[in-house]
């Protein structure tokens, strides 16, 4: 028999002490840049097109403000947003929502300041203002959300008066950043201004995909525009874009795109130095985990297979895209700065990491040998990995042009061929492969390894001919071949085939 929710004799109300809890909310481990990034998530969700950050030095009275031109909030919405725990992580969210716990605005702000004021204005509404003052909450020991800005702070919110909608987040009493520093403390002032560069570099990386879009978000810091930092150098001619792999998990798709960046001899010094990122080449290698295009993890091997960061693998960077429905599966934390993959995906991620590291090592040792770049994705892989009811299985990619062509050309044999394909899929020797790979991770032969060049050339020619006969034009078929696994490793043979067809066309 269940508990009677109306029987007051069954329970006590045990509310947390306001003064103790609000101080505890400061201890989630944010640094300044991750705290500000958390607030920008709210602005993007708003959705804002411009976000202005201001760092204003005045000793102990210094302040930081974040202003956006998003849709803003009504007074009721603002009160809700200022409530600690305003949203449960179990609640279903919009697919493009960047939040999760309903804590970010408060915990991120409290981690850096003792006074948080938010002013917001939605279309056709007056400006609404609310303020958390930690010293005041400690004094009264109640969750009292103040309705006015602090004395002498109202002018810091004036910009909102000229905007039809938007929000300003104001941080004052920056005890974790400037403490009790005096205005003429030049060292403290220099330290404060240096944080501006740290924050700028972090935001340029975390939000680079938003900053790169055609109708792009614009970020400003002290009236200076923030330029995106893309970790993958996609526009560099020598960047190798390896085949994209979509991994299925519980009905959702994780998209994994490996890159091998150019050897320093293949790009100019400025590009190479910029590509090193905020932590340097060695530190920036590994997986880059994105959720809704927002970067969560920047360069980490995610504890897979004992992989460590070393000099020979510094060119390896792997992009991973998650939907926000996988937050729990990937153990994403409140700060959105950590993620760990579910167990069922680790084998594939480890395999992809191993291949990318191997390729990066080859480039590092052979001064940037160029291998063909991928130009499309649907036809680049022959096998798909899927997870259903907690079980992993592998199926052939029915969109692969060679498989499509075989099924179309053998219409009379289609039932037999389909039965054969099903048998192949159902009898993949996964346990044997896993055991052999774990015991001898680098002993697995690569596709066509040791094959006779003439035989391989016949295979490449047959694939290219099949593409042309099935309606692909020359350019499309060439791009398909250049990106198709495993031919992207045999650019020299592809060049021979292309030259042969071009000569035939010239006759």
Distance CA 191, CA 201 (A): 16
Q: Tell me the Ramachandran region of residue 282: left when phi exceeds 0, alpha when psi lies from -120 to 50, beta otherwise.
A: alpha
Cα 2 to the chain's mean position, in Å? 43
Distance CA 118, CA 107 (A): 14
Under 8 Å between Cβ of 212 and 235: no
Domain boundaries, the chain: 18-225, 240-365, 383-445+452-506
The tokens describing 99, both together, are 């939040």
Domains 18-225 and 240-365 share a fold: no
Under 8 Å between Cβ of 112 and 35: yes
Pick from 248, 253, 247, 246: nearest CA to 388:
248
Q: Is the pTM of this model over 0.75?
A: no
State the pLDDT at residue 221: 98
Class of domain 240-365: alpha beta
Under 8 Å between Cβ of 137 and 115: no
Residue 334 CB: number of other CB atoms within 10 A?
18
CATH 3.30.565.10 fits 18-225, yes or no: yes
Max Cα distance, the chain (Å): 96
State the pLDDT at residue 94: 58
State the pLDDT at residue 88: 45
Cβ contacts of 151-155, under 8 Å, gap ≥ 24: 153/117
pLDDT in tens, the chain (507 residues): 567 778 888 888 888 899 999 999 888 889 999 999 999 999 999 999 999 999 999 999 999 999 999 999 999 999 999 998 755 444 554 555 444 434 679 999 999 999 999 999 999 999 999 999 999 999 999 999 999 999 999 999 999 999 999 999 999 999 999 999 999 999 999 999 999 999 999 999 999 999 999 888 999 999 999 999 999 999 898 899 999 999 999 889 999 999 999 988 888 889 999 999 988 999 999 999 999 999 999 999 998 978 999 888 999 999 999 998 898 899 887 767 778 899 999 999 999 999 999 999 888 876 544 443 333 455 567 887 777 777 777 888 888 888 888 877 776 667 788 888 888 888 888 777 777 766 665 566 777 777 788 888 888 898 888 888 888 888 888 888 887 877 776 777 888 888 888 777 655
Distance CA 259, CA 242 (A): 6
Pick from 253, 199, 243: nearest CA to 221:
199
């Amino acid at each position: 028999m269940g508990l009677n929710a109306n029987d007051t004799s069954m329970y006590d109300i045990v509310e947390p002490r306001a003064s103790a809890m609000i101080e505890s909310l400061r201890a989630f481990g944010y640094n300044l840049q991750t705290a500000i990034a958390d607030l920008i998530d709210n602005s993007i969700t708003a959705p804002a097109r411009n976000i202005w950050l201001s760092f204003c030095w005045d000793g102990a009275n210094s302040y930081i403000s974040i202003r956006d031109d998003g849709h803003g909030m009504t007074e009721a919405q603002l009160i809700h947003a200022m409530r600690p725990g305003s949203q449960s992580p179990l609640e279903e969210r919009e697919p493009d929502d960047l939040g999760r716990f309903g804590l970010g605005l408060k915990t991120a702000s409290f981690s850096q300041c003792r006074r948080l004021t938010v002013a917001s204005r939605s279309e056709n509404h007056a400006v609404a203002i609310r303020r958390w003052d930690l010293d005041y909450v400690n004094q009264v020991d109640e969750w009292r959300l103040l309705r006015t800005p602090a004395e002498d702070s109202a002018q810091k919110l004036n910009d909102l008066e000229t905007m039809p909608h938007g929000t300003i987040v104001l941080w004052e009493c920056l005890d974790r950043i400037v403490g009790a520093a005096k205005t003429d403390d030049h060292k403290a002032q220099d330290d404060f201004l240096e944080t501006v560069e740290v924050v700028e570099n972090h935001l340029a990386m975390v939000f680079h995909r938003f900053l790169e879009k055609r109708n792009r978000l614009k970020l400003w810091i002290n009236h200076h525009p923030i330029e995106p930092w893309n970790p993958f150098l996609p526009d560099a001619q020598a960047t190798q874009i390896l085949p994209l792999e979509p991994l299925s998990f519980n009905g959702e798709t994780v998209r994994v795109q490996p890159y091998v960046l150019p050897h320093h001899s293949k790009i100019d010094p400025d590009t190479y130095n910029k590509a090193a990122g905020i932590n340097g080449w060695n530190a920036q290698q590994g997986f880059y985990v994105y959720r809704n295009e927002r970067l969560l993890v920047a360069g980490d091997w995610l504890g897979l297979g004992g992989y460590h960061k070393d000099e020979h693998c510094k060119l390896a960077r792997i992009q991973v895209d998650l939907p926000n429905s996988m937050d729990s599966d990937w153990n994403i934390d409140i700060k959105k700065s950590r993620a760990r993959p579910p167990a069922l995906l680790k084998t594939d991620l480890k395999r992809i990491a191993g291949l990318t590291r191997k390729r990066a090592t080859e480039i590092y040792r052979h001064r940037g040998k160029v291998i063909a770049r991928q130009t499309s994705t649907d036809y680049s892989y022959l096998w798909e990995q899927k997870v259903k009811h907690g079980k992993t299985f592998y199926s052939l990619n029915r969109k692969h042009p060679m498989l499509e062509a075989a099924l179309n050309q053998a219409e009379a044999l289609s039932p037999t061929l389909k039965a054969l394909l099903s048998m192949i899929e159902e009898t993949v020797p996964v346990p044997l492969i896993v055991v052999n790979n774990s015991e001898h991770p680098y002993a697995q032969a690569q596709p066509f390894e040791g094959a006779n060049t003439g035989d391989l050339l016949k295979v490449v020619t047959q694939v290219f001919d099949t593409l042309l006969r099935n309606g692909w034009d020359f350019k499309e078929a060439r791009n398909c071949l250049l990106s198709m696994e495993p031919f992207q490793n045999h650019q020299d043979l592809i060049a021979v085939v292309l030259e042969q067809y071009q000569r035939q066309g010239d006759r």
